[in-house]
Structure 1
Amino acid sequence: MYVWARLARVMATARRRGPYLPGGESRLAFRCLPTDIDLNFHLNNARYLMMADLGRIDIFARSGLMRLYREHGWVPMMGGVQSVFVREIKLWRRFEVVSSIETWAGTEVIGRHKFILDNGETAAMVMTTAGIYDMNNRTFLPIREVVDALGVDATPRPPTEAERIFMASHSGLRKLAKAGG
């Protein structure tokens, strides 16, 4: 089951959090509810990805990409994801999902979502690769074009070694999947 009530809350409160600019963060506070848990009574692994979705949607709404979607038919599309879990989020525990756009190159955006417990410890991290897809022309856009359309003056930093490894791994796995492997 998707997190519809949480999505509605994120969208209803997006304006209150102000505009999202490259280099900024989306910070969303949650509590682990009975609908979020698995048999171990902690946040299940699928829920992490759904909550990372909420962080991306918050960035999408606050950055102006929603306007570009309506004007040009440009939509964000996930390419890949990698997750690591280091501490459990138990039932009723409060936590934040801190999401950010880390950098971009060509048509690829690297995002990060950290799950931070109420005591400041990191419970998990999700790294994503995504792009902006032009529905009318059926192609991914160069991110520079999207940034320019947003009217933002931003230059991506070079990818870190971890981000380069992630992008290479994602590219290899994508090729394997397309080949039917």
Structure 2
Amino acid sequence: MYVWGRLARMMATAGSRGSYQMGDESRLAFRCLPTDIDFNRHLNNARYMMLADLGRIDIFIRAGLIRLARTNGWAPMIGGLQSAYVREIKLWRRFEVVSSIETWEDSQVIGKHRFVLDNGETAALIMTTAGVYDRNARRFLDIDEVVAALGRSAQPRPPSEAERAFMASHQNLRDQAKRTG
């Protein structure tokens, strides 16, 4: 139930965080609850992914993508992710999930989710790749099309070396998954 509670809270407060513009961050505050922990009494790896989802959904709502997707038969979809855990988030500890759209290329968006402890230290970093699927046309949209449909004129910056390495690694893993049936 608490997963839905966190989602409902994020959705109910999205308007107070204002419209999302490229370069902005989504900042959502949490506390590590007993239902979040594993045997080591710290935030378990599955919770990181779920909380990163909330950061993405917050961006999608505030940018107007959810409304536009429903109108046009589109579906924002995550393609993959890479995570690095560098500090524990222990039971009852406060932290923020700081999410952003870093850049895009063709039909692929690169996102970042930083888990920041209440003392400012980064506990984990998740990079994601995602796209917007047009159900009617049966294709992923070029992100420039999506940006234009949102009424924005933002231009992506070139992917960093780390982002290019992530995209290549992700593509290699996708290719491997397709080959193994």
Q: TM-score, normalised by structure 2?
A: 0.98
The whole-number CA distance in structure 1 between the counterparts of 2:117 and 2:138 is: 40
Moved over 3 A (4+): none
1:129-148 to structure 2, matched below 5 A, reads 129-148=129-148
Aligned to 1:84: 84
SS of equivalent to 1:81 = strand
Alpha-carbon displacement from aligned partner over 1:111-151 (angstroms, at most 9, x marks no partner):
00000000000000000000001111111000000000001
Q: Which residue of 1 aligns with 2:112?
A: 112
Partner-residue secondary structure (3-state), 1:14: helix
Following superposition, the deviation at residue 50 of structure 1 comes to 0.3
Q: Residues 5-40 of structure 1, C-alpha deviation per residue, up to 9 Å, x if partnerless?
A: 100000111011000011110000000000000000
The answer to whether the 8 Å contact 1:2/1:50 transfers is no
The count of aligned residue pairs is 181
1:34-91, CA deviations, whole angstroms, 9 ceiling, x for partnerless residues? 0000000000000000000000000010001012112101111010100000000000
Give the letter aligned to residue 175 of structure 1. Answer: D
In structure 1, give the amino acid aligned to 2:165.
I
For the residues of structure 2 that align with 1:69 and 1:109, how far apart are their CA atoms? Answer: 16
Partner of 2:67: 67
CA distance in 2, matches of 1:102, 1:87: 23
Counterpart of 2:22 in structure 1 is 22
Show the counterpart of 2:93: 93
Deviation at 1:110, TM superposition (A): 0.1
What secondary structure, in the 3-state scheme, does the structure 2 residue paired with 1:114 have?
A: strand
Give, in whole Å, the separation in 2 of the partners of 1:174 and 1:87.
29
Partners of 2:17 and 2:138 in 1: CA distance? 32
Q: What are the ranges of 5 or more consecutive residues in structure 1 without an aligned counterpart?
A: none
Tell me what 1:170 maps to: 170
User: What percentage of aligned pairs have identical amino acids?
Assistant: 72
Distance 1:97 1:103 in 2: 19
- Provide the rounded CA distance (Å) in 2 between the counterparts of 1:92 and 1:109: 33
Normalising by structure 1, report the TM-score: 0.98
Indicate the RMSD between aligned Cα atoms, in angstroms.
1.0
- Aligned equivalents of 2:176, 2:166: Cα separation in 1: 15
Residue 2 (structure 1) shift: 7.4
Letter in 1 for 2:50: M
Q: Which amino acid aligns with 1:49?
A: M
